[in-house]
């Protein structure tokens, strides 16, 4: 059976850029466009050319290879010709494949916001679409406030859509601009529009103000629309747009949708989608939502012992799709609720075989609970957990002992009069009775400590040459009566392996040092040192 083509339109760089607290640089925009291009969306909307210098520059060269690149702007202003409209001129000057015109489709807005007649608004729609087509571009119309407009005056809302369609617009996008429409209304209204305009020319632009943006997009799809708009991680004005990171796996992995519809996203690209989501969060400098469907750290995590033991028998028992299909991993959480079956399953995943009736397990469980009470969190620190388990179960060689360290942070004026801060660290370790002292300078105290610790590890030095610090995260929280600092560090090596370690202390440097030492010991074990 041939499947119908469904088009995905990303508006992260336009609507997503309206998110409170989000501000993309030119380089950010280029990176995001490349990310979307690799993911396989059909359209990347770049923003408004001419709105500011960054966007104007961004539109000088099309940033995508595969995806169609779209410029966004208003339909021509009423009362002037399309040739004399500077906004339309900026759109036509952009290096873009498609032009998206936003048009009023609610009669009330035409009167209040545009101050023109309903007929003049239709003329603007028609002239703008034709101007884009004459310039050799694909034309789209975003019918703003379509659903509210349709409820107020269905004939006028429809005539806006029909005018664009008859003028030759490739897509007529029905926008739930205020985000208040519910799925059953979206399905009914899109179904009515699809009797006038073919569904393969209709798009849906849903906002998440009732947490229904994804559901509304799927409702529009059921009613016939064949273009879905959305943004990475659901970014967008107010509560956001439909989340493409949730929609794409649903479209691909749910048989009733996959059997009917085909998108430009391949199974291979889908298996990178967790990474895409996290890379995007990294770029925004915000913590990934661990509860995000499909891609969050908790999406395939289970805590209760009874679930973990069922999972160990058959993963389908508690998972609606396979975590590997979206590049996520199954996490069996070690937590203060952990039962022994959790521990056994977690250890098996790490390659540590231990029987459920092994008496050392109770001891390990107590140890984990005691550490978690201190503030350690092993859910994000697999390597530290493995080390703890190996220490308790026996079988971790002592590679080196740390006799002490010191860190010095200095803020001073340099020779040219600029205020600089410099950090030096000295680390004293003992390896097989031999004392080694290393000093290093770094751009911060943790960097200096890391460099000093890794500078000379004697006989083990060759095993840690390819270590690379990938991520460093700090959380300060209230533990008992004092503030406690938890540091999570992620390291990687040339084999592509990545592992995370944790350190906890009232002192951030001390917490960091614990995590650094764990990371190195883990690497030594992994490399078969000693």
* Binding footprint of Zn ion on the chain (CB under 5 A): 15
Least distance in angstroms from the C-beta of 55 to Zn ion = 17
Least distance in angstroms from the C-beta of 66 to Zn ion = 24
- Bridge partners of 502, per DSSP, are 488
Query: Closer to Zn ion at the Cβ: 15 or 55?
Result: 15
Least distance in angstroms from the C-beta of 9 to Zn ion = 12
CA distances, 220 to each of 95, 183, 217, 252, 310 (Å): 31, 8, 5, 17, 38
**Half-sphere exposure (Cβ direction) of 424: Cα atoms closer than 13 Å:** 6
Measured from each CB, the residue nearest to Zn ion is 15
Query: Closer to Zn ion at the Cβ: 134 or 178?
Result: 178
Answer yes or no: are the C-beta atoms of 69 and 98 closer than 8 Å.
yes
Residues 135, 43: Cα–Cα separation, whole Å = 19
Residues 483, 57: Cα–Cα separation, whole Å = 47
Query: Closer to Zn ion at the Cβ: 137 or 207?
Result: 207
CA distances, 504 to each of 340, 379, 429, 446, 526 (Å): 25, 14, 21, 14, 23
Least distance in angstroms from the C-beta of 206 to Zn ion = 9
Number of H helices, E strands in the chain: 19, 18
Query: Closer to Zn ion at the Cβ: 15 or 45?
Result: 15
Least distance in angstroms from the C-beta of 241 to Zn ion = 6
Host H or E run for residue 273? helix 273-284
Q: CA 502, 504, 505: angle at the middle one, nearest 5?
A: 155
Q: At what angle do helices 183-193 and 154-167 cross, to 10 degrees?
A: 50
Least distance in angstroms from the C-beta of 144 to Zn ion = 8
Query: Closer to Zn ion at the Cβ: 17 or 276?
Result: 17
Query: Closer to Zn ion at the Cβ: 55 or 372?
Result: 55
Nearest Cα residue to 98 out of 66, 123, 132, 128: 132
Least distance in angstroms from the C-beta of 178 to Zn ion = 9
Query: Closer to Zn ion at the Cβ: 15 or 148?
Result: 15
């Amino acid at each position: 059976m041939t499947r119908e083509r469904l088009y995905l339109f990303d508006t992260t760089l336009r609507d997503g850029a309206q998110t409170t607290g989000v501000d993309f640089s030119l380089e950010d925009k280029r990176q995001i466009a490349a990310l979307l291009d690799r993911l396989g969306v059909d359209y990347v909307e770049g923003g408004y050319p001419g709105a500011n210098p960054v966007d104007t520059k961004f539109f000088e060269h099309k940033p995508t290879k595969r995806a169609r690149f779209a410029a966004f702007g208003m339909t021509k202003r009423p009362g002037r010709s399309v040739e004399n409209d500077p906004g339309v001129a900026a759109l036509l000057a952009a290096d873009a494949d498609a032009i998206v015109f936003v048009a009023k489709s609610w009669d009330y807005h035409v009167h209040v916001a545009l101050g023109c007649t309903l007929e003049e608004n239709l003329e603007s729609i028609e002239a703008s679409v034709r101007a884009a087509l004459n310039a050799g571009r694909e034309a789209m119309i975003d019918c703003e406030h379509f659903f509210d407009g349709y409820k107020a005056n269905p004939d006028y809302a429809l005539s806006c859509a029909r005018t664009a369609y008859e003028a030759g617009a490739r897509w007529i996008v029905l926008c739930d601009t205020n985000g208040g429409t519910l799925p059953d209304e979206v399905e009914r209204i899109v179904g009515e529009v699809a009797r006038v305009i073919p569904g393969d020319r209709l798009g849906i632009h849903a906002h998440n103000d009732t947490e229904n943006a994804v559901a509304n997009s799927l409702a529009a799809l059921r009613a016939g629309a064949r273009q879905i708009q959305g943004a990475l991680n659901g970014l967008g004005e107010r509560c956001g747009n439909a989340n493409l990171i949730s929609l794409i796996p649903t479209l691909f992995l749910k048989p009733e949708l996959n059997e009917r519809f085909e998108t430009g996203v391949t199974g291979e690209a889908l298996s990178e989608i967790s990474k895409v989501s996290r890379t995007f969060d990294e770029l925004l400098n915000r913590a990934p939502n661990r509860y995000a469907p499909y891609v969050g750290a908790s999406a395939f995590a289970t805590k209760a012992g009874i679930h973990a033991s069922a999972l160990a028998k058959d993963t389908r028992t508690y998972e609606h799709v396979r975590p590997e299909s979206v590049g996520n991993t199954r996490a069996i959480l070690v937590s203060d609720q952990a039962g022994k079956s959790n521990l056994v399953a977690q250890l098996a995943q790490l390659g540590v075989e231990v029987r459920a009736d092994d008496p050392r397990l109770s001891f390990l469980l107590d140890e984990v609970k005691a550490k978690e009470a201190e503030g350690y969190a092993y859910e994000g620190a697999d390597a530290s957990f493995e080390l703890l388990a190996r220490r308790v179960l026996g079988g971790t060689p002592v590679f080196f002992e740390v006799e002490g360290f010191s860190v010095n942070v200095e803020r001073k004026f340099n020779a040219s009069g600029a205020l600089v801060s410099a950090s030096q660290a000295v680390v004293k370790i003992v390896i097989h009775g031999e004392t080694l002292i290393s000093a290093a300078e770094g751009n911060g105290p943790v960097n200096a400590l890391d460099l000093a610790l890794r500078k000379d590890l004697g006989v083990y030095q060759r095993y840690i040459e390819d270590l690379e610090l990938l991520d460093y995260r700090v959380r300060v929280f209230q533990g008992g009566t004092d503030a406690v600092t938890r540091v999570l560090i992620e390291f990687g090596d040339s084999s592509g392996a990545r592992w995370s370690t944790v350190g906890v202390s009232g002192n951030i440097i001390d917490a960091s040092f614990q995590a650094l030492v764990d990371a190195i010991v883990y690497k030594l074990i992994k490399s078969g040192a000693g």
